Amino acid sequence: MVKIVVPVKQVPEVTEVRMNEETGTLIRDGVPSILNPFDELAVEAAIQLKEKHGGEVTIITMGPPQAKDALLKALAMGGDRAVHLTDRAFAGADTWATALTLAEYIRKEEFDIVICGKQAIDGDTAQVGPELAELLGVPQICYVQKLALSEDGKQVIAQRGTDEGHEVVKAKLPVLLTATKGLNEPRLPNIMGIMKAKQKPFVEVNIEKLGTDPSRLGLKGSPTQVRKVFAPEKKKGGIKIDADNPAAAAKQLVEFLTKKGAI
């Protein structure tokens, strides 16, 4: 029996997010929201552990009311219950304040394993997992590509991605893991799953229920501040030639590279 908590995030489909160059704001209208793809790996990993060893999978998110959809998707995949931390006081949180909010709730529950996605594809920070591990006082194994529990169920054995390849890391429970590509192929929810999801236990938690001093949460509790957002300097296409005469084209290219000091 393993008790697993999976913190998830609803994110915009980032490849469709653009800047309004005139106003300097993000254009999010019409951009679809999805369950963060790395979190899908985490949900799948949790469900697989539960299928093998028995237990319970709790999905948790901190986010606006519409983030409920991300929780429902994870429940449809096979999560058992969901917790939605939602309050205006949580809004504008940076990674530290997000990790704190999650930790304040998760601490109250019993858990053996917390599985996060490696990073959310909107912010790409990969910081919430390790920060949450620290605030919960448990060890962490980041960028997990393979995962198993020891026979006695007291240890995780994880393959963790490194810059050179991978390493095998062991840790006693409780532990926090972050899931990366290759860990599994997340299942698609089927119709039965989607129907059942709506009947599964679902709690909403606001600031009063959480009981944390609001000055530590959300925008106010965030040590980092976004001062400005701007569109990246878009690389523009430069020279473009046809290779009717491949040798001449090659010569022109190598001349260009030599002049630029690139070779």
Partner 1 sequence: MGLIYDRDTCTGCMLCPKACNFGAIEKDGDKVKFDLDKCVLCGSCEEVCPVDAIKIERKKVDANEIAQYKNVFVFCETHEGRLRSVALELVTKGRELADKLGEKLVAILIGNDIEEHAQTLIYHGADHVLVVEGKIFTDYTTDAYTIAMTSLIAPRKPAIVLYGATNNGRDLAPRIAARLALGLTADCTGLEIDEARQLVQTRPAFGGNIMAEIISPYTRPQMATVRPNVFKPGEPDTSRKGEIEKVNIEVSPIQVRTRVTEKVSEIVEGMKSVEEADIIVCSGRGIKDPANLELPKQLAKLLDAAIGGSRPIVDMGWLPPTQQVGQSGRTVCPKLYFALGISGAIQHQIGMSSSDIIVAINKDPEAPIFSIADFGIVGDLFTVLPEVIAEVKRVLDSR
Query: Which of helix, strand or coil describes residue 102?
Result: helix
- By C-beta, is 26 or 194 nearer to partner 1? 26
152 binds partner 1 (CB under 8 A): no
Residues 58, 203: Cα–Cα separation, whole Å: 11
Distance CA 190, CA 177 (A): 27
Q: Binding of partner 1 at residue 99 (CB under 8 A)?
A: yes
Asked if 214 is part of the footprint of partner 1 (rule: CB under 8 A), the reply reads: no
Q: CB within 8 A of 76, min separation 6: which ones? A: 189, 190, 193, 194, 196, 197
- 226 contributes a contact to partner 1 by CB under 8 A: yes
Residue 225's Cβ-count burial label (10 Å; 0-12, 13-18, 19+) is exposed
Only one of the segments 46-54, 77-85, 116-124, 200-208 lies at the binding site for partner 1 (rule: CB under 8 A); that segment is 116-124
177 vs 144: CA distance, rounded Å? 7
| Nearest distance in Å: CB 38, partner 1 | 10
Phi, psi of 156 (to 5 degrees): -100, 145
Cβ-based nearer residue to partner 1, 203 or 250:
250
Segment interacting with partner 1, rule: CB under 8 A, options 65-73, 77-85, 134-142, 185-193: 134-142
Least gap, CB of 205 to partner 1 (angstroms): 21
Show the binding pattern over residues 155-184: x = contacts partner 1 (CB under 8 A), - = does not: ------xxxxxxxxxxxx--x-----xx--
Restricting to residues 42-81, which ones interact with partner 1 according to CB under 8 A?
none
Q: Contact at 8 Å (CB) between 109 and 58?
A: yes
Window contacting partner 1 (CB under 8 A); options: 55-63, 70-78, 91-99, 201-209: 91-99
Size of the site for partner 1 (CB under 8 A): 83
Q: Does 203 bind partner 1 (CB under 8 A)?
A: no
Question: How far apart are CB 224 and partner 1 at their closest, in Å?
Answer: 4
Find the binder of partner 1 among 56, 80, 125, 187 (CB under 8 A).
125
Residue 106, H or E segment? helix 95-106
**Backbone CA torsion sign across 42, 47, 50, 55:** positive
**Given CA atoms 167, 172, 178, 184 in this order, what sign does their dihedral have?**
positive
Residues 6-45 that bind partner 1 (CB under 8 A): 12, 14-15, 17-19, 26
Q: Of 30, 32, 137, 192, which lies in the binding site for partner 1, with binding defined by CB under 8 A? A: 137
